[in-house]
């Protein structure tokens, strides 16, 4: 009997652990939010919260250490916060915009890849499901975090320069579950891309000046080396226009590759190169 009770309790706990309640707020910056030490978070941090941010509720109504205030204890991106409530149990807010608690959501936390245009759309509120004018279609080669499911809708986190959250009703085709994790698919920051472009442009200008001089002086015809870059949110590929020139550029490329490696050193992106190609992709291994 004791073994049966233990197994039942364990099974119930496992099932329960796969569901959670979420508070979704249209404008999180309007809330009164405390950190895990029950101190106000900075306005800079709060203003960085994206519209319709989903807070996972750990305790819906908890008394704070002052023994007066009440708040909901929530988790966002692994961090604990407290969202202050008033005496009537409503969230303290500077605005009266959309906020709603969704109960018993099924947790997923996996990554999906959108591989076809105009198939997967997102919208900010469940009631917009039938209003296609409120939908935004995700482009192909877009990775998203599938956070949870509520009834027949999924809630997605779409990374980018500004994180976007939204509901979707996933179609049968146009997407797939990816073996990658969103942590390994952080968007390459603009400031790193800018530094890389400056360095590559400088190298290409040096090649142009140096080889053009010899072509003109000795009246010979050959390709001038040029690095071309293919840039996406999650990966950069550099390609030398003529791979046969790689041997002649062995020493200059060594310094170029060292400079590129230094640009991404300490970031969440790894730098991989050969004689005529290089890649910047998620990870921290270097070769």
Is residue 74 a part of any domain in this protein?
yes
Is residue 236 a part of any domain in this protein?
yes
18, with CB counted inside 10 A (0-12, 13-18, 19+), is exposed
What would the two tokens of residue 189 be? Answer: 């920051």
Claim to verify: residue 196 and residue 170 sit in the same structural domain = no
Q: Residue 143 sits in a domain of what CATH number? A: 2.30.30
Claim to verify: residue 202 and residue 227 sit in the same structural domain = yes
126, 158, 182 - which closes a domain: 182
Claim to verify: residue 258 and residue 278 sit in the same structural domain = yes
- pLDDT, tens digit (0-9, with 9 covering 90-100), for 135-153: 999 988 788 889 999 999 9
pLDDT at 18: 82
The residue ranking higher by pLDDT, 86 or 187, is: 86
Claim to verify: residue 176 and residue 226 sit in the same structural domain = no
Please report, for residues 28, 161, 206, the alpha-carbon distance to residue 279 in angstroms, rounded to integers and kept in the order given. Answer: 37, 21, 22
Task: pLDDT band for 184, please (50, 70, 90 cuts).
Answer: low
Claim to verify: residue 172 and residue 237 sit in the same structural domain = no
150, 182, 214 - which closes a domain: 182
With contact defined as beta carbons under 8 Å apart, do 153 and 120 qualify? no
Number of domains in the chain: 3
pLDDT above 70: residue 162: yes
Domain enclosing residue 271, as ranges:
190-282
pLDDT at 182: 60
Is residue 196 a part of any domain in this protein?
yes
Q: How many CB atoms lie within 10 A of CB 175?
A: 21
- pLDDT, tens digit (0-9, with 9 covering 90-100), for 34-85: 998 899 988 877 888 899 999 999 999 999 999 999 999 999 877 889 999 9
162, 182, 202 - which closes a domain: 182
* Entry pTM: 0.61
Claim to verify: residue 10 and residue 63 sit in the same structural domain = yes
Is residue 272 a part of any domain in this protein?
yes
Q: What is the Cα gyration radius of the chain? A: 26
Is residue 287 a part of any domain in this protein?
no
């Amino acid at each position: 009997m004791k073994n049966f009770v233990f197994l039942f309790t364990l099974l119930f706990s496992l099932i329960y652990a796969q569901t959670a309640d979420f508070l979704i707020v249209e404008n999180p910056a309007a809330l009164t939010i405390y950190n895990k030490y029950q101190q106000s978070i900075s306005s800079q941090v709060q203003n960085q919260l994206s519209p319709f941010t989903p807070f996972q509720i750990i305790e819906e109504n908890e008394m704070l250490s002052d023994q007066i205030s009440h708040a909901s204890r929530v988790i966002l991106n692994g961090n604990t916060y407290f969202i202050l409530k008033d005496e009537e149990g409503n969230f303290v807010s500077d605005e009266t915009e959309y906020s709603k608690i969704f109960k018993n959501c099924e947790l997923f936390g996996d990554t999906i890849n959108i591989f076809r245009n105009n198939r997967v759309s997102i919208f900010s509120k469940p009631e917009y499901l039938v209003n296609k004018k409120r939908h935004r279609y995700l482009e192909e080669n877009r990775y998203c975090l599938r956070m949870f499911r509520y009834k027949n809708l999924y809630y997605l986190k779409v990374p980018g320069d500004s994180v976007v959250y939204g509901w979707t009703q996933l179609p049968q085709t146009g997407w797939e579950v990816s073996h990658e994790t969103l942590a390994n698919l952080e968007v390459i920051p603009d400031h790193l891309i800018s530094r890389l472009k400056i360095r590559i442009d400088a190298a290409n200008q040096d090649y142009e000046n140096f080889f053009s001089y010899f072509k003109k002086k000795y009246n010979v015809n050959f390709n001038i080396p040029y690095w071309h870059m293919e840039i996406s949110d999650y990966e950069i590929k550099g390609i030398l226009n003529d791979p046969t020139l790689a041997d002649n550029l062995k020493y200059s490329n060594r310094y170029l590759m060292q400079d590129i490696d230094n640009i991404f050193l300490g970031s969440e992106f790894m730098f991989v190169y050969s004689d005529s190609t290089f890649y910047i992709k998620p990870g921290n291994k270097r070769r």
